[in-house]
Amino acid sequence: MCGLKIDRPLECIVSDMTAFYLEGKYFELTLYMDLRNNEILTYALSDKRGDRETYVKGLNDLIEIKKEHPDLQMILHTDQGSVYSSKSFNELLPSYNIIHSMSRAGTPTDNSTIESINGWIKTEMFMDFHLTTIEKIHDEIKDYIVFFNEKRPAYSLNYLTPKKYKEGF
C-alpha cells in the first residue's frame, strides 16, 4: 500500500465505497480519506447501484484539494473495483501528480483502514446518529463527516480527532 511511515498530510489517500439500505432504498457512499490522520477529505453519496459518479465526484473534490499542492506527490490507494480500474480514472491521476496504488485482488486487508472505517461509519450512522429517513440523508451524512473529523476521538491518533491531530494538537 502506501508504506508504513507517512510523514505529511495528503501523502497517502485511501478510498472505497460502502453500501447500505435506508427505508428500503439502496445507497452507496464513497470516501476519500487521508491515511496520515484518518480525516475524510471528500465523499459522495448516490442512491443508484454502481453509480460511477460517486467515485468521480469524490476524485474531482480530491483533485481540487491536490491543486493547492501541485508539487506534492500523492498516492491514492484503492481496491480493484471497476471504476478504480477504469482507463478514464487512471488516465486522470498522473496529470495531478497522483500515483495509483491498488490492493491485490480479493485482499481487503490491503486497504484495511478504509474497510474498517466503512464498518464504523455504518454502525455509528444508524445506531448513534439514528439515520432513519431518506429526506435528510445528504445533510445527515454531511453532519456525520463533520462529527467524524472534528469530534470523534480515535484510538490510533492517541484519542485525538483527525482535525486536532492534523493541527498538531
pLDDT tens string, the chain, 169 residues long: the values are 555 578 889 999 999 999 999 999 999 999 999 999 999 999 999 999 988 888 889 999 999 999 999 999 999 999 888 888 888 888 889 999 999 998 877 776 677 788 888 888 888 888 887 787 899 899 999 999 999 999 999 998 999 999 999 998 6
- pLDDT for 69: 93
Q: Please report how many Cα atoms fall inside a 13 Å half-sphere around the Cα of residue 61, on the Cβ side.
A: 17
The residue written with cell numbers 498522473 in the block is 94
Q: Which residues pair with 32 in a beta bridge?
A: 15, 42
- pLDDT for 169: 60
What is the distance between the alpha carbons of residues 11 and 2, in angstroms, rounded to a whole number?
8
| C-beta separation of 79 from 111 below 8 A | yes
Helix (H, G, I), strand (E, B) or coil at 153: coil
Phi, psi (deg, nearest 5) at residue 23: 50, 40
- pLDDT for 93: 92
- pLDDT for 133: 83
Strand order of the sheet with strand 74-78? Answer: 39-46, 25-34, 12-22, 74-78, 98-102
Q: Per residue in 113-144, is it b (16+ CB within 10 Å) or e — as a string?
A: bbbebbeebeeebeeeeebeeeeebeebbeeb
pTM score of the predicted model:
0.90
- Residue type (1 letter), 64: E
